[in-house]
Structure 1
């Protein structure tokens, strides 16, 4: 069974299991982020954010986190493990949104290191997948900096804002690739 109460942290970031009580703490950040631009979730109102959190907490194959930046002592977003397939040992990392002020500071890279380490080294998963809107060049570059391989593009598979049908770039990291990537992409 997967521990859904595990806190993942280092000296910069703490990933705290998401709870309903995080709604008010995340609302100031949610107002700065247009999650619906590239994804299928809309957190543009407090009601929508509450529903987003409730749906994450109800899902059987999800471990969702609130992101806490230790440098600023503030909550700066949310992320999760999703589409967790324990039989085939595959999961997705995604649904990530962080404050604009936090973007480009290295926090996302640190956070992904914690999540990848946990997925491969503690949960024993064989593969981690990340899916990104083909138009979201900034996020694609961030995932490529992790050493993830582009495996293909799912054409028009997600409906986003204004009923736009996005295509998703599918990236993956295999368990046997992790030790090398850990040294080459995260050892700084």
Structure 2
């Protein structure tokens, strides 16, 4: 696997499978996306069937063009889609990418699905793509996401002020986090022990 065929990537561990979004996933996404709490800190939101259609169309287009690689997060226990995440800001020459655009269904919160998805994405980034840096960003007001990133061991790097517009016109400040290649082995062992024990690694 290389940076040149990421659109065909399927990532998995004992808890989740991440694979590219398909047109036929619409009903599965419709089951979980219409919860306004998911989208509170998102630049774009899924509130209507038209929004969902646009999300799926954009995800597929971005993945096929390599702008972003957008994954459906599938719970391997139930077979249901429980959210989405993506690789973006791909910089293969610098061995750098961002993990983001991530959300999970309300029913999947505090179940370990999000952490298992992050593990699959980080394993592939460091072990297969040989990244030197994986970065994350979130709204400075999103305390849940910030606490979650810190729990993964990602290092807070700083705030970029007035980064972009939010729905309603607010200018969002974003805070960046990162994990570096030489930090990953210890973080994987310390922060992902529950997931890796299930996966038998």
Instruction: Look up the SS of the partner of 1:162 in the other structure.
Output: coil
Aligned to 1:175: 181
- Asked whether 1:58 is paired with 2:61, we answer yes
Identify which range, 56-65 or 172-181, moves more after superposition: 56-65
Instruction: Look up the SS of the partner of 1:163 in the other structure.
Output: coil
For structure 1, the 5+ residue unaligned runs are: none
Aligned to 2:80: 74
**1:21-100 matches, cutoff 5 A:** 21-59=24-62, 60-100=66-106
Question: What RMSD in Å do the two structures reach over aligned CA positions?
Answer: 1.4
Partners in 2 of 1:163 and 1:148 — Cα distance?
29
Shift of 1:34: 4.4
Distance 1:122 1:33, change over 3 A: farther
130, 144, 160: which one aligns with 2:166 = 160
Aligned to 2:156: 150
- Asked whether 1:8 is paired with 2:5, we answer no
Q: Residue 15 of structure 1 contacts residue 111 of structure 1 at CA under 8 Å; is this kept in 2?
A: yes
For structure 2, the 5+ residue unaligned runs are: 195-201
More helix by percentage: 2
Identify which range, 24-33 or 168-177, moves more after superposition: 24-33
Shift of 1:35: 4.8
Q: TM-score, normalised by structure 2?
A: 0.88
Distance 1:36 1:158, change over 3 A: farther
Q: Residue 152 of structure 1 contacts residue 170 of structure 1 at CA under 8 Å; is this kept in 2?
A: yes
The superposition leaves residues 71-108 of structure 1 with CA deviations (integer Å, 9 ceiling, x where unpaired) of 33311111111111112111111111111111111111
Q: TM-score, normalised by structure 1?
A: 0.94
